[in-house]
A and B are shown apart, each in its own frame.
Chain A
Amino acid sequence: MLRLGTGPRLAYRSPMTGIGPVEPVDSSDREESYDVIGTDGPRLTDRWSARWRGLPPRTRRATLTATTIALLAAGVLLPRTLSGDQRPEPEDTPVPWPANVTAWRYLGPAGLPEPPGTRPTSGRFRFAVDVRGGPPVTLQVTGAAFTGLTAHALPDAFTVHPGTTRRVTVEISVSDCSVLPQNADLPFLDVTLRNARAIQHHSFIFGQAYSRDLFRLLRGACAATPAPQPGRPTGSAGSQNAD
């Protein structure tokens, strides 16, 4: 007997690994829709039986004939289908968390080198972002590792579809030289990622090439800057001149 009932929801939480920098999203997650399916309505067989008895004899005969033909056709076609590769139902594939399917790769500085003698306080850097699977992921760059820097992508928020790579430019601006290190390994970008499963705040860490290019900007912007007054920025994204 087939009966749709409300099964126990799967409790899925490690006792020691509470999820931190994430927020839930109203999603089409299977577990979310499970409760809807499980409403305690009349049994299917009861409903079918009642409807069948209410049909005129001619309709019943026509239905029986059509059903017999359909079952015979299914008997021929289904074994072929079953002998093939049995792929899992899409419903069995859980929606991945966005940070687990998103990768960033540093490509290099964007644009032409600054003319000698200039001290830009912002620079543009190019990255390739790819999403390996799941639903599309929307990203927004929120920071560039160090206090004293601001960062944003151009455009500010962008979406990457699964199985694709999107090239993006990130503009990083020096806002306070007094709190910036002279050098550091493995600088990163702070990024907010959102897909149908969750919103995550995640850092993407880059290697030596990005570190070298970033600190070239920082050293250029801060080299001859007088000691900053507390709370007063020495440059900004909108200003190419130290103020």
Chain B
Amino acid sequence: MIVRRSMVILTSVMATGALTLTACGSRDDKGGDSDNGGGTTLTIGVDAPLSGENSTTGLGIQYGAQIAVDDANKNKLVPGVTFKLKAFDDKAQPATGQSNATAITGDKTAVGAVGPLNSGVAQSMQQVFASANMVEISPSNTNPALTQGKDWQTAKKRPYKTYFRTATTDELQGSFAADYAYNGLKKKKVFVVDDKQTYGAGLAKIFNEQFKKLGGSVVGTDHVNTGDKDFGSLVTKIKTSKADLVYYGGQYDESSLITKQMKDGGVKIPLFGGDGMFASTYIETAGAASEGDLATAVGVPADTLPAAKTFIETYKSKGYKGDYGAYGAYSYDAATAIIKAVKAAVDANGGKVPSDINALRSSVVDGVQKSDFEGISGKVSFDEYGDTTNKQLTVYQVTKGAWKAVKTGTAS
């Protein structure tokens, strides 16, 4: 008995001694790393709508990238390099996005960019980044043509080797939504609406085709303009069509008003949309009228990504505006892919930052293409088109005033 007791005490004392030594060692290590001042500052641009329409999700992109940059600097991910994020507001306008792309590529400290939010804006930016041989990674663009060319359904061809995305495409999103509408919700008659934008019209078209293939009927279609506020005539058309579901290709700004005016007009059927609708602002604006509405979104719920836990806590503790839920983690991973590519370029150059910014940008494009790491949204790597290999999707439904995941899927 005494021997056992003595062993317990001995073990405890040894553990205390070991802890003391470990603590001393940690302090010594930190001291040894402290001479990492000076060095090079490199800029990562971020472009998204940061004010006005779509800004809820746009701000989530900005601050997702900001946290990635802060983490990289804090952890000295690239010794001798301090990263700086420079945010540009494109107001969801293609022309503004193009100007921002020119400004980013004109900055001789810039090595890459995260964004934009909107596929239509991306179309106007891709050529600018390609001309500068600078990498651009969108955490949210879903239009298939951006990576696979305009004939993506018949002959895929990558238009720009500098463009990548961490979000999956509408080919998957539209089909997944159509299946859930037809087989999950048992809806047979749908009224399809889009906002005539690259993203919205493309997504609505894919949903339309797939829903009919499954056996459903498209009993009406219509288009709206971004910025519209009065959807009275649309509501009348939907009511007349006897549809049991409305599918909307577009952003939450319009769809939140459409669903409210639909329900106010006595059309009590759910509205289903894509990731452009997946924002807390949708529910806040539509109020109780949004209950039962649905949206698909890229990726799986952030709650189920253990690696995103710290990211979410940081986002909240910093009091950042916007909504991280839709694209925040994907923006973080996009920025991290650029930072890791810079690290690879520096390592390949004997630990020094290449003095020629054009050479560095070129190396970063190559490095991003070779990305292969565990991000906070899952595995980060890109296929031959620049599309993410992490093809996950979730169907959300507004339940008791909050988005709740009702179905998740992964494409191989």
Give A contacts to B, CB under 8 Å: 10, 12-22, 44, 48, 51-52, 55-56, 59, 62-63, 66-67, 70-71, 74-75, 78-79, 82, 94-97, 99-100, 102-106, 132, 145-147, 179, 181-186, 188, 198, 200-207
| Selected contact of A203 from candidates B313, B399, B409, CB within 8 Å | B409
Closest to A186 in B: B175
CB distance from A42 to the nearest CB of B (A): 14
Whether A100 contacts B378 by the Cβ 8 Å rule is yes
Whether B412 contacts A66 by the Cβ 8 Å rule is no
**In the complex the two chains form, what is the Cα distance from A202 to B17 in whole Å?**
49
Whether B304 contacts A94 by the Cβ 8 Å rule is no
Whether A67 contacts B407 by the Cβ 8 Å rule is no
Residues of B close to A132: CB separation below 8 A: 379
Within 8 A of A (CB), among B22-43: 22, 25-26, 29
Whether B407 contacts A185 by the Cβ 8 Å rule is no
**In the complex the two chains form, what is the Cα distance from A129 to B117 in whole Å?**
34
CB distance from B148 to the nearest CB of A (A): 14
| Selected contact of B404 from candidates A18, A66, A183, A202, CB within 8 Å | A18
- The reply to whether the CB of B242 lies closer than 8 angstroms to some CB of chain A is no
Q: Decide: A59 near B410, CB < 8 A? Known: A13-B303, A14-B301.
A: no
Residues of B close to A12: CB separation below 8 A: 303, 309, 312-313
| Selected contact of A14 from candidates B171, B325, B391, B410, CB within 8 Å | B325
**In the complex the two chains form, what is the Cα distance from A141 to B6 in whole Å?**
55
Whether B280 contacts A15 by the Cβ 8 Å rule is yes
Whether A16 contacts B325 by the Cβ 8 Å rule is yes
Closest to A105 in B: B412
**In the complex the two chains form, what is the Cα distance from A20 to B303 in whole Å?**
10
Dominant secondary structure at the B interface? helix
**In the complex the two chains form, what is the Cα distance from A79 to B21 in whole Å?**
9
Closest to A202 in B: B408
Whether B409 contacts A205 by the Cβ 8 Å rule is yes
Give B contacts to A, CB under 8 Å: 2, 5-6, 9-10, 12-14, 17-18, 21-22, 25-26, 29, 171-172, 175-176, 179, 183, 210, 213-215, 279-280, 283, 300-307, 309, 312-313, 323-325, 378-379, 391-392, 394, 396-397, 399, 402-412
CB distance from A47 to the nearest CB of B (A): 9
Residues of B close to A62: CB separation below 8 A: 6
A and B contact pairs by CB, cutoff 8 A, 28 listed:
A12-B303, A14-B312, A16-B323, A17-B325, A21-B408, A22-B304, A48-B12, A51-B9, A63-B6, A63-B9, A63-B13, A70-B10, A70-B13, A78-B18, A78-B22, A78-B25, A95-B306, A97-B300, A97-B305, A100-B304, A100-B305, A182-B213, A184-B175, A184-B213, A186-B411, A202-B408, A204-B411, A205-B412
Residues of A close to B25: CB separation below 8 A: 78-79, 82
Closest to A54 in B: B5
Residues of A close to B214: CB separation below 8 A: 146, 181, 184
Closest to A147 in B: B183
CB distance from A168 to the nearest CB of B (A): 14
Whether A74 contacts B410 by the Cβ 8 Å rule is no
Residues of B close to A146: CB separation below 8 A: 183, 214
**In the complex the two chains form, what is the Cα distance from A188 to B184 in whole Å?**
13
Sample of 10 more A-B contacts, CB < 8 Å, known A16-B280, A202-B408, A202-B409: A12-B309, A19-B404, A21-B405, A59-B2, A63-B6, A70-B10, A71-B17, A95-B306, A184-B213, A186-B172
Closest to A97 in B: B304
Whether A66 contacts B175 by the Cβ 8 Å rule is no
| Selected contact of A16 from candidates B29, B403, B409, CB within 8 Å | B403
